[in-house]
Structure 1
Amino acid sequence: MRDTEEFDAFYASSSQRVLGQVYAMIGSRTEAEDAVAEAYARAWSRWSTVRDCDSPEAWVRKVAYRVSVSAWRKATNRLRAHRREAVGQQVDAVSVDHVALVAALRRIPSEQRRVIVLHHLVGLSVAEIAAETRANPNTVKTRLARGRRGLATQLAGDGYQTTGGRSHGA
Protein backbone atom coordinates (compact mmCIF):
# COMPACT_ATOMS: atom_id res chain seq x y z
CA MET A 1 0.00 0.00 0.00
CA ARG A 2 2.92 2.31 0.76
CA ASP A 3 4.19 1.88 -2.82
CA THR A 4 0.82 2.84 -4.29
CA GLU A 5 0.52 5.97 -2.17
CA GLU A 6 4.11 6.94 -2.87
CA PHE A 7 3.72 6.47 -6.61
CA ASP A 8 0.39 8.32 -6.65
CA ALA A 9 2.00 11.28 -4.87
CA PHE A 10 4.94 11.21 -7.32
CA TYR A 11 2.56 11.10 -10.28
CA ALA A 12 0.34 13.89 -8.93
CA SER A 13 3.31 16.17 -8.26
CA SER A 14 5.17 15.59 -11.53
CA SER A 15 2.90 14.43 -14.37
CA GLN A 16 1.77 17.84 -15.63
CA ARG A 17 5.28 19.22 -15.52
CA VAL A 18 6.71 16.20 -17.38
CA LEU A 19 3.90 16.41 -19.94
CA GLY A 20 4.72 20.08 -20.57
CA GLN A 21 8.40 19.31 -20.94
CA VAL A 22 7.91 16.38 -23.33
CA TYR A 23 5.37 18.40 -25.32
CA ALA A 24 7.96 21.17 -25.68
CA MET A 25 10.55 18.62 -26.83
CA ILE A 26 8.46 16.85 -29.45
CA GLY A 27 5.91 19.48 -30.48
CA SER A 28 2.75 17.37 -30.37
CA ARG A 29 0.55 17.37 -27.30
CA THR A 30 -1.25 14.18 -28.31
CA GLU A 31 1.99 12.29 -28.86
CA ALA A 32 3.42 13.72 -25.66
CA GLU A 33 0.37 12.56 -23.69
CA ASP A 34 0.72 9.03 -25.11
CA ALA A 35 4.45 8.90 -24.42
CA VAL A 36 4.14 10.28 -20.90
CA ALA A 37 1.33 7.85 -20.07
CA GLU A 38 3.49 4.97 -21.29
CA ALA A 39 6.48 6.24 -19.31
CA TYR A 40 4.48 6.46 -16.07
CA ALA A 41 3.09 2.96 -16.69
CA ARG A 42 6.65 1.67 -17.05
CA ALA A 43 7.71 3.60 -13.95
CA TRP A 44 4.90 2.02 -11.95
CA SER A 45 5.87 -1.49 -13.10
CA ARG A 46 9.47 -0.78 -11.97
CA TRP A 47 8.66 1.51 -9.08
CA SER A 48 10.95 -0.25 -6.60
CA THR A 49 13.90 0.59 -8.89
CA VAL A 50 12.72 3.96 -10.23
CA ARG A 51 12.02 5.45 -6.80
CA ASP A 52 15.67 4.87 -5.86
CA CYS A 53 16.99 6.82 -8.89
CA ASP A 54 18.60 10.19 -8.29
CA SER A 55 15.58 11.74 -10.02
CA PRO A 56 12.53 9.56 -10.76
CA GLU A 57 11.09 12.50 -12.69
CA ALA A 58 14.13 12.59 -14.98
CA TRP A 59 13.77 8.83 -15.50
CA VAL A 60 10.14 9.26 -16.58
CA ARG A 61 10.99 12.23 -18.81
CA LYS A 62 13.80 10.28 -20.52
CA VAL A 63 11.58 7.22 -21.05
CA ALA A 64 8.75 9.38 -22.40
CA TYR A 65 11.10 11.04 -24.86
CA ARG A 66 12.46 7.67 -25.99
CA VAL A 67 8.93 6.30 -26.40
CA SER A 68 7.99 9.27 -28.57
CA VAL A 69 11.13 8.92 -30.71
CA SER A 70 10.45 5.20 -31.12
CA ALA A 71 6.86 5.89 -32.17
CA TRP A 72 8.07 8.51 -34.65
CA ARG A 73 10.59 6.08 -36.13
CA LYS A 74 7.99 3.36 -36.48
CA ALA A 75 5.58 5.74 -38.21
CA THR A 76 8.31 7.02 -40.52
CA ASN A 77 9.47 3.52 -41.41
CA ARG A 78 5.89 2.40 -42.01
CA LEU A 79 5.34 5.36 -44.34
CA ARG A 80 8.55 4.62 -46.24
CA ALA A 81 7.57 0.97 -46.59
CA HIS A 82 4.16 1.93 -47.96
CA ARG A 83 5.73 4.32 -50.45
CA ARG A 84 8.24 1.66 -51.59
CA GLU A 85 5.44 -0.86 -51.97
CA ALA A 86 3.29 1.58 -53.93
CA VAL A 87 5.99 2.46 -56.49
CA GLY A 88 4.87 1.24 -59.88
CA GLN A 89 1.43 0.16 -58.68
CA GLN A 90 -1.62 1.58 -60.31
CA VAL A 91 -4.52 2.37 -58.01
CA ASP A 92 -7.85 2.67 -59.73
CA ALA A 93 -9.91 5.60 -58.59
CA VAL A 94 -13.32 4.95 -57.11
CA SER A 95 -15.91 5.80 -59.73
CA VAL A 96 -19.19 7.58 -59.21
CA ASP A 97 -20.94 4.34 -60.18
CA HIS A 98 -19.05 2.45 -57.47
CA VAL A 99 -20.02 5.01 -54.81
CA ALA A 100 -23.68 4.89 -55.93
CA LEU A 101 -23.70 1.09 -55.87
CA VAL A 102 -22.20 0.91 -52.37
CA ALA A 103 -24.72 3.48 -51.12
CA ALA A 104 -27.59 1.54 -52.70
CA LEU A 105 -26.34 -1.72 -51.20
CA ARG A 106 -26.38 -0.13 -47.76
CA ARG A 107 -30.07 0.69 -48.18
CA ILE A 108 -31.30 -2.84 -48.86
CA PRO A 109 -31.81 -5.48 -46.14
CA SER A 110 -28.64 -7.22 -44.98
CA GLU A 111 -29.74 -10.71 -46.13
CA GLN A 112 -30.35 -9.39 -49.65
CA ARG A 113 -27.11 -7.41 -49.62
CA ARG A 114 -25.17 -10.49 -48.57
CA VAL A 115 -26.47 -12.72 -51.38
CA ILE A 116 -26.07 -9.94 -53.97
CA VAL A 117 -22.43 -9.50 -53.00
CA LEU A 118 -21.74 -13.23 -52.84
CA HIS A 119 -23.35 -13.85 -56.23
CA HIS A 120 -22.36 -10.79 -58.27
CA LEU A 121 -19.09 -9.70 -56.69
CA VAL A 122 -17.65 -12.94 -55.32
CA GLY A 123 -19.06 -15.08 -58.13
CA LEU A 124 -20.67 -17.83 -56.07
CA SER A 125 -23.51 -19.94 -57.45
CA VAL A 126 -26.89 -20.14 -55.75
CA ALA A 127 -25.96 -23.56 -54.34
CA GLU A 128 -22.64 -22.22 -52.98
CA ILE A 129 -24.39 -19.24 -51.39
CA ALA A 130 -26.99 -21.57 -49.86
CA ALA A 131 -24.23 -23.69 -48.34
CA GLU A 132 -22.29 -20.67 -47.03
CA THR A 133 -25.32 -18.90 -45.56
CA ARG A 134 -27.07 -22.12 -44.47
CA ALA A 135 -30.18 -21.06 -46.34
CA ASN A 136 -32.47 -22.95 -48.68
CA PRO A 137 -31.53 -22.41 -52.37
CA ASN A 138 -35.05 -21.06 -53.03
CA THR A 139 -34.55 -18.54 -50.22
CA VAL A 140 -31.28 -17.47 -51.85
CA LYS A 141 -33.05 -17.02 -55.21
CA THR A 142 -35.80 -14.98 -53.55
CA ARG A 143 -33.26 -12.76 -51.78
CA LEU A 144 -31.34 -12.28 -55.04
CA ALA A 145 -34.53 -11.25 -56.89
CA ARG A 146 -35.65 -8.90 -54.12
CA GLY A 147 -32.14 -7.51 -53.73
CA ARG A 148 -31.88 -6.75 -57.45
CA ARG A 149 -35.26 -5.00 -57.38
CA GLY A 150 -34.22 -3.07 -54.29
CA LEU A 151 -30.96 -1.99 -55.90
CA ALA A 152 -32.78 -0.94 -59.07
CA THR A 153 -35.19 1.15 -57.01
CA GLN A 154 -32.37 2.72 -54.99
CA LEU A 155 -30.29 3.49 -58.07
CA ALA A 156 -33.30 4.91 -59.92
CA GLY A 157 -34.01 7.11 -56.90
CA ASP A 158 -30.42 8.41 -57.07
CA GLY A 159 -30.88 9.56 -60.66
CA TYR A 160 -29.52 6.37 -62.21
CA GLN A 161 -31.13 4.26 -64.89
CA THR A 162 -30.64 0.54 -64.85
CA THR A 163 -30.51 -1.20 -68.19
CA GLY A 164 -29.31 -4.68 -68.80
CA GLY A 165 -27.89 -4.97 -65.28
CA ARG A 166 -25.55 -1.98 -65.65
CA SER A 167 -25.97 1.39 -64.02
CA HIS A 168 -25.47 4.57 -65.98
CA GLY A 169 -25.57 8.09 -64.65
CA ALA A 170 -28.59 10.08 -65.83
Structure 2
Amino acid sequence: MSTDFDNFYTTAVRRVVLYLYAACGDRSDAQDIAQEAFARAWQHWPKVSGYEDPEAWVRTVAWRIMSNRWRGLQRALSTRIRLGPTDDVAHGPSPDRVAVIDALQRLPRPQRQAIALHYLMDMPVDEIAATTGVPAGTVKARLSRARTALGRLLDDHEQEISDVATHA
Protein backbone atom coordinates (compact mmCIF):
# COMPACT_ATOMS: atom_id res chain seq x y z
CA MET A 1 0.00 0.00 0.00
CA SER A 2 2.74 2.46 0.94
CA THR A 3 4.62 2.17 -2.35
CA ASP A 4 1.40 2.51 -4.36
CA PHE A 5 0.45 5.70 -2.50
CA ASP A 6 4.01 7.06 -2.70
CA ASN A 7 3.99 6.65 -6.47
CA PHE A 8 0.58 8.30 -6.71
CA TYR A 9 1.69 11.21 -4.51
CA THR A 10 4.92 11.74 -6.45
CA THR A 11 3.04 11.75 -9.74
CA ALA A 12 0.16 14.01 -8.68
CA VAL A 13 1.35 16.48 -6.04
CA ARG A 14 2.80 19.13 -8.38
CA ARG A 15 -0.36 19.25 -10.50
CA VAL A 16 -2.61 19.51 -7.46
CA VAL A 17 -0.52 22.29 -5.90
CA LEU A 18 -0.50 24.19 -9.20
CA TYR A 19 -4.28 23.86 -9.46
CA LEU A 20 -4.74 25.14 -5.91
CA TYR A 21 -2.23 27.95 -6.39
CA ALA A 22 -4.23 29.22 -9.34
CA ALA A 23 -7.40 29.03 -7.32
CA CYS A 24 -6.21 30.63 -4.09
CA GLY A 25 -3.24 32.73 -5.23
CA ASP A 26 -0.90 31.75 -2.42
CA ARG A 27 1.72 29.06 -2.93
CA SER A 28 2.11 28.30 0.77
CA ASP A 29 -1.65 27.91 1.24
CA ALA A 30 -1.83 25.77 -1.89
CA GLN A 31 0.89 23.48 -0.53
CA ASP A 32 -0.78 23.24 2.89
CA ILE A 33 -4.18 22.47 1.39
CA ALA A 34 -2.68 19.88 -0.97
CA GLN A 35 -0.89 18.19 1.93
CA GLU A 36 -4.12 18.02 3.89
CA ALA A 37 -5.99 16.56 0.91
CA PHE A 38 -3.27 13.97 0.30
CA ALA A 39 -3.27 13.08 4.00
CA ARG A 40 -6.99 12.36 3.72
CA ALA A 41 -6.32 10.28 0.62
CA TRP A 42 -3.71 8.31 2.58
CA GLN A 43 -6.22 7.68 5.38
CA HIS A 44 -8.72 6.28 2.88
CA TRP A 45 -6.22 4.87 0.38
CA PRO A 46 -7.73 1.38 0.09
CA LYS A 47 -10.98 3.00 -1.11
CA VAL A 48 -9.48 5.99 -2.99
CA SER A 49 -6.98 3.84 -4.89
CA GLY A 50 -9.88 1.90 -6.37
CA TYR A 51 -11.37 5.00 -7.98
CA GLU A 52 -10.91 5.53 -11.70
CA ASP A 53 -9.15 8.87 -11.01
CA PRO A 54 -7.78 9.19 -7.45
CA GLU A 55 -6.24 12.55 -8.33
CA ALA A 56 -9.69 13.95 -9.12
CA TRP A 57 -10.79 12.81 -5.65
CA VAL A 58 -7.81 14.67 -4.11
CA ARG A 59 -8.59 17.82 -6.13
CA THR A 60 -12.22 17.72 -5.02
CA VAL A 61 -11.25 17.31 -1.37
CA ALA A 62 -8.67 20.09 -1.72
CA TRP A 63 -11.25 22.42 -3.29
CA ARG A 64 -13.57 21.82 -0.33
CA ILE A 65 -10.77 22.44 2.17
CA MET A 66 -9.89 25.68 0.39
CA SER A 67 -13.53 26.80 0.33
CA ASN A 68 -13.85 26.14 4.06
CA ARG A 69 -10.68 28.15 4.72
CA TRP A 70 -12.05 31.05 2.68
CA ARG A 71 -15.21 31.09 4.74
CA GLY A 72 -13.08 31.19 7.88
CA LEU A 73 -10.94 33.99 6.48
CA GLN A 74 -14.03 35.96 5.51
CA ARG A 75 -15.27 35.71 9.10
CA ALA A 76 -11.85 36.78 10.41
CA LEU A 77 -11.72 39.70 7.97
CA SER A 78 -15.17 40.85 9.05
CA THR A 79 -13.96 40.78 12.64
CA ARG A 80 -10.83 42.79 11.80
CA ILE A 81 -12.91 45.37 9.97
CA ARG A 82 -15.15 45.76 13.00
CA LEU A 83 -12.12 46.10 15.30
CA GLY A 84 -10.35 48.66 13.09
CA PRO A 85 -6.95 48.87 11.37
CA THR A 86 -3.71 47.44 12.74
CA ASP A 87 -0.17 48.79 12.58
CA ASP A 88 1.07 45.87 10.45
CA VAL A 89 3.46 46.81 7.67
CA ALA A 90 2.92 44.66 4.60
CA HIS A 91 5.68 43.55 2.26
CA GLY A 92 3.82 41.85 -0.52
CA PRO A 93 4.12 40.45 -3.99
CA SER A 94 4.55 42.49 -7.17
CA PRO A 95 1.67 44.66 -8.37
CA ASP A 96 1.16 42.47 -11.46
CA ARG A 97 0.89 39.31 -9.39
CA VAL A 98 -1.54 41.04 -7.06
CA ALA A 99 -3.61 42.12 -10.07
CA VAL A 100 -3.80 38.59 -11.50
CA ILE A 101 -4.61 37.05 -8.13
CA ASP A 102 -7.20 39.73 -7.44
CA ALA A 103 -8.75 39.21 -10.86
CA LEU A 104 -8.93 35.44 -10.32
CA GLN A 105 -10.45 35.92 -6.87
CA ARG A 106 -13.13 38.18 -8.32
CA LEU A 107 -14.35 35.44 -10.61
CA PRO A 108 -17.16 33.23 -9.37
CA ARG A 109 -15.73 30.00 -7.93
CA PRO A 110 -17.03 27.78 -10.76
CA GLN A 111 -15.31 29.99 -13.36
CA ARG A 112 -12.09 30.12 -11.33
CA GLN A 113 -12.15 26.33 -11.02
CA ALA A 114 -12.70 25.88 -14.77
CA ILE A 115 -9.81 28.26 -15.57
CA ALA A 116 -7.45 26.45 -13.18
CA LEU A 117 -8.35 22.99 -14.49
CA HIS A 118 -8.18 23.98 -18.15
CA TYR A 119 -5.15 26.25 -18.27
CA LEU A 120 -3.02 24.92 -15.43
CA MET A 121 -3.97 21.27 -15.39
CA ASP A 122 -4.28 21.10 -19.20
CA MET A 123 -7.58 19.29 -18.86
CA PRO A 124 -9.89 19.20 -21.87
CA VAL A 125 -13.45 20.45 -21.52
CA ASP A 126 -14.95 16.95 -21.39
CA GLU A 127 -12.63 15.93 -18.55
CA ILE A 128 -13.46 19.10 -16.61
CA ALA A 129 -17.14 18.33 -17.11
CA ALA A 130 -16.67 14.82 -15.73
CA THR A 131 -14.58 16.07 -12.80
CA THR A 132 -16.95 18.85 -11.78
CA GLY A 133 -20.19 17.04 -12.63
CA VAL A 134 -21.53 19.67 -15.03
CA PRO A 135 -22.28 19.45 -18.76
CA ALA A 136 -19.48 20.26 -21.23
CA GLY A 137 -21.50 23.23 -22.50
CA THR A 138 -21.52 24.68 -18.99
CA VAL A 139 -17.74 24.29 -18.76
CA LYS A 140 -17.33 26.08 -22.11
CA ALA A 141 -19.58 28.90 -20.96
CA ARG A 142 -17.66 29.22 -17.67
CA LEU A 143 -14.34 29.36 -19.53
CA SER A 144 -15.64 31.95 -21.98
CA ARG A 145 -17.11 34.15 -19.26
CA ALA A 146 -13.98 33.81 -17.13
CA ARG A 147 -11.68 34.81 -20.01
CA THR A 148 -13.86 37.82 -20.77
CA ALA A 149 -13.99 38.86 -17.12
CA LEU A 150 -10.25 38.39 -16.61
CA GLY A 151 -9.50 40.47 -19.69
CA ARG A 152 -11.73 43.26 -18.45
CA LEU A 153 -10.36 43.12 -14.89
CA LEU A 154 -6.75 43.12 -16.02
CA ASP A 155 -7.41 45.94 -18.52
CA ASP A 156 -8.91 47.95 -15.66
CA HIS A 157 -5.75 47.30 -13.63
CA GLU A 158 -3.55 48.50 -16.50
CA GLN A 159 -5.68 51.65 -16.81
CA GLU A 160 -5.32 52.34 -13.07
CA ILE A 161 -1.54 52.02 -13.34
CA SER A 162 -1.51 54.33 -16.36
CA ASP A 163 -3.68 56.89 -14.55
CA VAL A 164 -1.38 56.85 -11.50
CA ALA A 165 1.74 57.23 -13.67
CA THR A 166 0.17 60.14 -15.56
CA HIS A 167 -0.72 61.99 -12.37
CA ALA A 168 2.54 61.30 -10.55
Q: Which TM class, normalised by the smaller chain length?
A: 0.3 to 0.5
Between the two structures, name the one with larger relative contact order (CA 8 Å, sep ≥ 6): 2
Tell me the TM-score normalized by structure 1. 0.46
Q: Greater Rg, structure 1 or structure 2?
A: 1
Tell me the TM-score normalized by structure 2. 0.47
Q: Which has the higher strand share?
A: 1
